[in-house]
Amino acid sequence: MGKPPPSSSSSSDPSDNKSEQKLQAVLLADTFSNAFHPITLEPYRDHHHDVIGGFGGGVPPHLSCRGKERPLVLCPLNNVPVLHHSIEFLQGNGIEELFVLCCASSGSADAVEGYIRANADNNSGKANGRSAEGGGRKIVWSSKLSITVLRFTDCTNAGDALRELDRQNVVKSDPFILMQGDVVSNVDLRGAMEGHARRRKKDAAAIMTILLQEVGGWGLDGGNDDDDDDDDDDDFRVDDADERGEEKKEGDKTTVFDDRLTARRDHFLPPLRSSTDDLLLALDTTHSNRILLWDDRDSVARRRDAKCCSIPTIFFQENSSSILLTRNYLDVGIDVCSPDVLARFSDEFDYRELRNQFVSNCVSEEESGLQSGRIYAHIMDRGEYAGRPLGDMRRYHRVSMDLLRRWAYPLVPENYNGSSSNDEAVRYVCERHLVYRDVGGMNRSGRNRSHVGRSTQLLGTLLLGPNYSIGERCRLQRSVLGSNCTLMDDCTIIDSHLWGNVLIESGACLSGVIVCEGAIVRRGAVLERGCVVGRGCVVGEGVRLREFTRITCAAAEVEDDDDYSGFEDSSSSEEDSLSEGSSEGDGKKCNGAALDTTTTMASMKITDTLTNHEVVGMDGIGRVYVPSPPDDYDSDEDGDAARDKALELMKSQSIGYDMTLIYRKWQKLQTEDEDDGFSLDEMGSDEDDDIDMRDEWMNDSREAAAGGRNMHTSSSTSHVGDGGMQITGRQKGVDVVKELRDICLEHETSSPIENLRIELNSFKFSQNATYGDCCKGAMMAVMEKIVDESKGSILTPGKLVGLLKKMMEYWGSLFQSICIGSDEEKEIIHSLELMALGHVGDKFVSMLGTEPAFRFVLQTLHDQEIVNEEAILEWASERKEEGKDSPLGELFWQKPIQDFLEWLQEDSGSDDDGDDSSVVESD
């Protein structure tokens, strides 16, 4: 009719890519999940196909035959297929060329292509020619956007599909958008794309930007408050400065325990997260949110596998002042990528998944210096919304309601246009309490038969599609009605989705149910939460469907057959119990009931493969769908356990599932883990000891305070010991120092001393010990080693010095690093003193207590610059007041020691006069 669009035909010509690269996008139309089974197993038939049939010439004949399965992306969300939402979203963001990757069966690819063709702009549809390029056919969606459907039917995962895409070499724009097929969003991508381009210009390795939405974590962490500050709900911020200097630099890897935190009372479970998603991220907030860690193991797995995550310390050294460790963000499934990403996929041929393999490896690879890819995060603005309705049905319901509650404005029903075929324009009007009605048919008299009974309550957040008819005394809440739905009198529809051409007879009650096209719910039937009624199924009169039952007409999967056989024997009794107990619906029972249905179905297989009459009623149609366990379930589990697990998963993916159950489970796991964690942290000493130690320490500190005065007059030997260790207190001193000594002794001298230092350091922190304690422990260990070395022979002072010197070649650097000041050095002398006096063990007394030995050791340490003269002199001034008759004094007033001290004093008095070597000679 109109003028032929001259330039649109040329725009579909691939040759004009040279002039200016069009902005491209890749849509992964399959999510490789079976959360929407059995809906996605059912044959997809749509009137759009009929439209195609009438289409002039442009459609290949095989398209007219119906697809075998419903593609996931063609599931309607608020009466518009999710694919349509995605395409409109991309078009709104200025995408000019879109590749839709279909990996499922060719039937579903046909359906996707058929849908796109049927809904493309009618006038440009004429110009839709075929081009052989890329194996796909270019479809002109509008004058701005052309779409190519690529069929990679032999690909079983996202990685394969992306590799195949790379092989075809059609994605050229930099950046391009990589989007999961199920994203519904109102994000403005311009900001993310600009940021990406800016980083990419500076650094060619910045290959990817992932969009994140802040939705809050699972609340397992002890968030400090729940006001809406931007970043401290579940965040754990590691800030710069000293902490980093001391702790982080010390090893190759630092471990950050993330489950030290306790549960919060008023937590909110994030509704947009899937039940398995517990993404832990580390973001470098100084460098435009570079992702340093991507850990998307689910909560249970993370607790099972390893209780920690690791961040390479190199990230701390790369002069970033702030690293954010958070579980607040949700991956929305939209990425801004450079074509390098596809190349990377081709290189790493074993990557199967985009997120947990590609991204998490890519960010952690950087530590090994490959520098092949940096990934950044773009945090969405507060007004921006992104939901993934096809992840599971719980989120499907949630996203649907969020859209109706206008969270994704302007993506609201008023603005849906061209949702169905063009002649039947649907226009919604938002009325009070967020009730949306179709008024599109108003102007065409007779077309709109929409009718609501006067006594019917429409209670908010409802979407009523075209041509609905609702009887009297119904109650509707939080639901979506597709086109041509009929509700008779006295129905209750809550949290439910009716997909079109659905008939609900009077008195039926649906709560949390998805009813697919053409299904019928007969009089008085009750469908409990989480049920799914497949395409064309019929739920019989008065039937009560147990919660989380999924009814389908699709043929059973072949591999399920073996599993059924095991149940056949017990089926008859179960059947009875099912019919009896059909009125009960408590939570415990549901598990059993769901299993019942599996067994009954097994028995029915013999008589009728397609209908379980005892479930859907004698006048019903449809079989119960049982999820098949995932392929990779652990082989040690038997079939039952695996099936239970699959059932449990299916339930958690259904509408109405109480997420607090999952939350509680995790909480339980966590408390268990925390118990374990303690014993690990204690490094061998149990908790009881810990408490004892603390009490003792209290006593000691009091004693120490008193001991300061007692010291001079102390008579008993035990108190002398106290006096010598007044800084820390005896009990603790022995304990901690002994532990430290043991650590030193256990250390293999073949490995670098640095490792020992870290070990000591971590122990020091865990026990709140001082470096002095470390010095003491280390010195004792050295002496112990010397004793060992001597192998029982009596050590003459000369031999002792020789061995000590040898030891210090290895240990010296340790002392140098742990001796911060003269206090620590004094501790070394103290420890020697203790050993000489026999408080630690008798073996040292003969070695150190004899006349010149102590002095020689002191001097050697001084020579080795482990103890400097300041410390020695300080020590001397402490001991000067000691009486000659006390053991300490006895040691101190030894002649050689006094000589040495005298010399030291002279030496420090006249600084440059004598150096160390001269002292040795003076001996």
Partner 1 sequence: MRSGTYRYGTERLPAAARTADLLRSIVGATRWTNAAQLLTLLRGIGNELAGIGGGGGNGGGSGNRDPAIGNVIRRVMYAARDEADRAPVDDDDDDGGGGGGGGGGTKNSSSTRGGGESFLSSMLWAHPRQTAVGASHHRRMRSGSGSVGMISESSEHHHYPPPSTTTSSTQVYPPHYYARRDDLRPSVMEAIQEMISELEDLHKNINEQALQHIHNGEIILTYALSRTVELFLKAAAAKKRKFQVIVCEGSPHFGGHVMARSLAEAGIDTTVIHDAATFAIMARVNKVLLPAHAVLVSLANGGLIAPSGSNMVALAAKQNSVPVVTVAGMFKLCPMYPHEGQDTLNDLISPSTVIDYRLMGDPVLSEVEFANPVHDYIPPQLIDLIVTNIGGFQPSYIYRLLAECYHSDDWEAFE
State the residues that interact with partner 1 by CB under 8 A.
1-8, 88, 91-94, 119, 121-123, 141-144, 186-188, 190, 214-216, 226, 228, 233, 267-271, 381-385, 402, 405-418, 422, 425, 427-434, 439, 443, 460-461
Q: What are phi and psi of 356, to 5 degrees?
A: -75, -10
Smallest distance from partner 1 to CB 218, Å: 10
Q: What are phi and psi of 666, to 5 degrees?
A: -65, -40
Smallest distance from partner 1 to CB 383, Å: 5
Residue 148 vs 486, nearer CB to partner 1: 148
Angle at 95 between CA 392 and CA 271, to 5 degrees: 25
Smallest distance from partner 1 to CB 87, Å: 9
Smallest distance from partner 1 to CB 328, Å: 8
Q: What are phi and psi of 475, to 5 degrees?
A: -135, 120
Tokens of residue 109, six digits: 């690819």
668: Cβ contacts below 8 Å, ≥ 6 apart: none
As a whole number of angstroms, the distance between CA 794 and CA 786 comes to 11
SS3 sequence of 601-647:
HHHHHHHCCCCCHHHHCCCCECEECCCCCCCCCCCCCCHHHHHHHHH
Residue 187 vs 904, nearer CB to partner 1: 187
Strands 76-77 and 538-539: unpaired
Residue 2 vs 369, nearer CB to partner 1: 2
- Helix, strand, coil % in the chain, rounded to nearest 5: 45, 15, 40
User: Sign of the C-alpha dihedral, residues 910, 912, 913, 914?
Assistant: positive
Work out the number of other CB atoms within 10 angstroms of the CB of residue 797.
18
Residue 400 vs 461, nearer CB to partner 1: 461
As a whole number of angstroms, the distance between CA 399 and CA 185 comes to 10
Closest CA to 327 of 376, 363, 293, 350: 293
Smallest distance from partner 1 to CB 330, Å: 10
Smallest distance from partner 1 to CB 422, Å: 5
Residue 237 vs 444, nearer CB to partner 1: 444
Smallest distance from partner 1 to CB 4, Å: 8
Residue 418 vs 802, nearer CB to partner 1: 418
Under 8 Å between Cβ of 489 and 505: no
Residue 414 vs 640, nearer CB to partner 1: 414
As a whole number of angstroms, the distance between CA 633 and CA 563 comes to 15
Smallest distance from partner 1 to CB 647, Å: 24
Residue 466 vs 707, nearer CB to partner 1: 466
Residue 107 vs 270, nearer CB to partner 1: 270
Under 8 Å between Cβ of 180 and 309: no
Smallest distance from partner 1 to CB 445, Å: 12
Residue 25 vs 39, nearer CB to partner 1: 25
Under 8 Å between Cβ of 22 and 96: yes
As a whole number of angstroms, the distance between CA 205 and CA 270 comes to 33
Smallest distance from partner 1 to CB 146, Å: 13
Work out the number of other CB atoms within 10 angstroms of the CB of residue 825.
25
As a whole number of angstroms, the distance between CA 762 and CA 237 comes to 21
Smallest distance from partner 1 to CB 22, Å: 13
368: Cβ contacts below 8 Å, ≥ 6 apart: none
Tokens of residue 694, six digits: 């603390």
As a whole number of angstroms, the distance between CA 398 and CA 196 comes to 31
Residue 408 vs 509, nearer CB to partner 1: 408
Helix (H, G, I), strand (E, B) or coil at 343: helix
Smallest distance from partner 1 to CB 822, Å: 54
Smallest distance from partner 1 to CB 477, Å: 10
As a whole number of angstroms, the distance between CA 25 and CA 94 comes to 10
Residue 30 vs 547, nearer CB to partner 1: 547
Smallest distance from partner 1 to CB 483, Å: 17
Residue 431 vs 865, nearer CB to partner 1: 431
As a whole number of angstroms, the distance between CA 385 and CA 406 comes to 10
Residue 119 vs 479, nearer CB to partner 1: 119
Strands 76-77 and 176-180: unpaired
Tokens of residue 359, six digits: 């991204």
